[in-house]
Amino acid sequence: MSLFYDCSLKINEIVNQGGRVLVHCLGGISRAPAFVIAYLMDLRNIDYEEAFALVQDVRYCINPIENFKVQLREYQYVVRARSQNQIGIQREKRALDEEERFQSNVLYINLE
């Protein structure tokens, strides 16, 4: 499963730099679609079924092997947990930013 995440990070890095990525395997039916599905799950924070449907709309003949399907269904929980963690981190960051703004608006004068 960590390969899904590593691959998603690499694809995202290239795309963010304005690049394009071709994901391929021997037949284009199992391995490549599995990694594209994982990438879409990460990118859009969607579940396996929705990502599968998006890929299948573009390439109707996809059919990841059962082992990939199981891993991708498990991976959707990893994606969801990571997303929830990011939301928590963003909330903490906003709270710290607000605290910093409050502290920066306070004028301290030492009259000793």
Report how far residue 104's alpha carbon sits from residue 101's, in angstroms, rounded to the nearest whole number.
5
Residue 93's pLDDT is what?
59
Provide the token pair at 75: 């991976």
What global pTM score does this model have?
0.75
Distance of CA 33 to the CA centre of its chain: 16
Residue 84's pLDDT is what?
83
Catalytic choice (9, 15, 25, 89): 25
Domains, the chain: 2-104 (3.90.190.10)
Sign for the CA dihedral angle at 57, 58, 63, 66 comes to negative
Residue 37's pLDDT is what?
96
Residue 85's pLDDT is what?
80
What's the average pLDDT block by block, 10 residues per block, for the chain (112 residues)? 88 92 92 95 94 95 96 94 73 57 47 46
Residue 109's pLDDT is what?
45
Report how far residue 90's alpha carbon sits from residue 112's, in angstroms, rounded to the nearest whole number.
40
25 catalytic, yes or no? yes
Which residues touch 44 (CB under 8 Å, ≥6 apart)? 50, 51
